[in-house]
Amino acid sequence: MLRSLGKLPEDQRPAFGQAVNQAKNRVQTALDERKQHLQATTKSKPREWIDVTLPGIRREIGRRHPLMQTMEELKTILQGMGFRYDDYPEIETEYNNFDALNTPSWHPSRDMHDSFYSEQGHVMRTHTSAFQVHAMKQASSPPIRAMTAGRCYRRDEIDDTHFPIFHQLDAIAIDRTICFADLKHTLYQMLTAFLGPGIQLRFRPSYFPFTTPSAEVDVFYRGRWMELLGSGMMRPEVLRNGGIDPAEWRGFAFGMGIDRITMAKFNVTDIRLLYENEAAFLTQF
Ligand code: DAH
């Protein structure tokens, strides 16, 4: 309309121009007000839109297996106490799994570890303790605080508490003045952080070929005593196998079953559920 202004007789132009300008301003004001209103009222709500590139069928987000949750949490707790984490092979030399841990082939305790033998001189590790000599050799020199966790294998009959695959976490601490009290303190700290305050631990004298003195540790959790882990002061033979002079250094070690504590924490009553990978079970955690 403003562009057509030139075609009008000269005397009508001012009035027409004014009227058109007023109309334009009213429209502009109305638009501005509406825009402001919309901005004010939609700001707090997320903008809704449809992403047409997403798949049409809904998928649940994946989650961590309860065993992995437990290992991850224990690992984080121990890392906070200065332990370094590394993964170690599941197929081990018989030497690392047994001999280096003061368990020669004639040793009766090898019977407790009914092993899966792999190629000549190798086994599927029967415990994560197999990492100990590796870790000592890998470190340039003590002090050492090291741990690992993962799968272990034994020829067990399958029932509600036994499965040929299971999980352990092992840790060692080597320093000039390490003593049994350090072991107790570490276990109290770790298990309190994991299970919550107010737990009780019971140290029972025990035997392992690679520690002396040795203790099995039970925890009082949810109204009952539960056997949890093996532990002790590292034997001089084991330190020596790791290239460490036992006259100068001493260490503690412990090894803990992950499956049982996971079952206790998540109220799982049959270990087989942990290995069947049923979505209906796994999505509960
Ligand atoms: N490796 C032992 C087992 O599987 C547990 C164990 C006991 C680990 C004493 C240790 C230890 O590191 O010091 O039954």
158 shares its domain with 196:
yes
DSSP string across 197-217: TT-EEEEEEEEETTEEEEEEE
Q: Is residue 236 part of a domain?
A: yes
Q: Is residue 59 part of a domain?
A: no
101 shares its domain with 204:
yes
Nearest CA to ligand 1 atom 3: 127
- Give residue 44's identity as a one-letter amino acid code: S
73 shares its domain with 200:
yes
71 shares its domain with 29:
no
129 Cβ contact partners less than 8 Å away, ≥ 6 residues apart: 101, 168, 170, 210, 253, 255
Q: Is residue 233 part of a domain?
A: yes
Ligand 1 centroid, distance to 81 Cα (angstroms)? 20
Ligand 1 centroid, distance to 164 Cα (angstroms)? 17
230 shares its domain with 116:
yes
43 shares its domain with 144:
no
Q: What percent of the chain is predicted at pLDDT more than 90?
A: 73
Ligand 1 centroid, distance to 273 Cα (angstroms)? 25
Q: Is 277 helix (H, G, I), strand (E, B) or coil?
A: coil
Q: Is residue 56 part of a domain?
A: no
- Residue 128 pLDDT exceeds 90: yes
Ligand 1 centroid, distance to 229 Cα (angstroms)? 7
Four-residue CA torsion sign, 269, 272, 277, 278: negative
pLDDT, residue 44, reads: 64
94 shares its domain with 27:
no
Which residue from 183, 207, 254, 260 has its CB within 8 A of the most atoms of ligand 1, so it is best to mutate?
254
What letter does residue 117 receive in the DSSP assignment?
A: B
Q: Is residue 58 part of a domain?
A: no
Q: Is residue 178 part of a domain?
A: yes
pLDDT, residue 83, reads: 98
Which residue from 170, 174, 180 has its CB within 8 A of the most atoms of ligand 1, so it is best to mutate?
170
pLDDT, residue 261, reads: 93
Q: How far, in Å, CA of 182 to CA of 180, rounded?
A: 5
Ligand 1 centroid, distance to 17 Cα (angstroms)? 96
Q: Is residue 53 part of a domain?
A: no
146 shares its domain with 234:
yes
- Give residue 134's identity as a one-letter amino acid code: H
Q: CA separation (Å) from 153 to 8, 183, 209, 213?
A: 99, 26, 19, 26
pLDDT tens column, 253-266: 999 999 999 999 99
- In the chain, the number of structural domains is 2
Query: Which range (48-57, 128-137, 252-261) has the least confidence?
Result: 48-57
What is the residue range of 41's domain? 5-48
CA 71 to chain centre: 4
pLDDT tens column, 3-50: 888 888 989 999 999 999 999 999 999 999 999 998 888 766 666 788
31 shares its domain with 77:
no
What CATH code is carried by the domain that includes residue 162?
A: 3.30.930.10
117 shares its domain with 240:
yes
CB of residue 257 inside a 6 A radius of ligand 1: no
The pTM of this model reads 0.79
135 shares its domain with 207:
yes
Q: Is residue 212 part of a domain?
A: yes
CB of residue 254 inside a 6 A radius of ligand 1: yes
Q: Give the β-pairing of 200-208 and 224-234.
A: unpaired
Nearest to 256 by CA among 219, 209, 225, 205: 219
∠17-19-20 over CA atoms, to 5°?
A: 65
31 shares its domain with 118:
no
